[in-house]
Copies of this chain bind each other. A is one copy, B any other.
Amino acid sequence: MSVEEASSQQASSDVVEAVEAIMRRLERAWNSADGAAYGEPFSPGADFVTIRGDLHTGRDAVVAGHQEIFGTIYAGSTMRYQVMQTRQLDDRVVLAHVRAALSTPGGPLAGEGASTITAVLLKRDGGWEITALHNTLITE
């Protein structure tokens, strides 16, 4: 294995499955408008950068921020996440890039939208948690 490969490996299938399982949890939480469930896969001290460039710190902030948008601008919306790539940076750290597709039925943001997510996951107590997530709307 070359130095470059050693420093940047495609994650093993079990790690990819763990990342995909977490994204499905987030998808279900979004589509149930459940802020608390959305926050569950995050570390207590996780960092979250929103599509507006705001940096929020902590699972509680993730929960509160999502509960608010689930009840207002994204009420009734449907999210789909697709994991594009997953790299193992170290035994305990995984980097993932995810495509998000959102369908919003009404309000100022009605319609279809898409975004690109960078997620950093940390292994803890045998499971994986999101320790950082950054989301940017895809624009032309």
> Which A residues have a C-beta under 8 Å from some C-beta of B?
3-4, 7-8, 43-45, 47, 49-55, 84-85, 87, 89-93, 95, 97, 114-116, 118, 120, 122, 124-125, 131-132, 134-140
Contacts and interface: CB of A to CB of B under 8 A. Distances in A.
A139 B52 contact: yes
B84 A116 contact: no
Contact of A95 (B4, B85, B131): B131
State the majority secondary structure of interface residues on A.
Answer: strand
Contacts of A132: 95, 118
A132 B137 CA distance: 18
A61 to B, nearest CB: 14
A117 to B, nearest CB: 8
Contacts of A52: 136, 138-140
A86 to B, nearest CB: 11
A47 B122 contact: no
Contact of A116 (B55, B97, B140): B55
A128 to B, nearest CB: 11
Nearest to A50: B136
Contacts of A8: 43, 45, 122, 131
Contacts of A89: 90, 92-93, 120, 122, 131
A138 B92 CA distance: 31
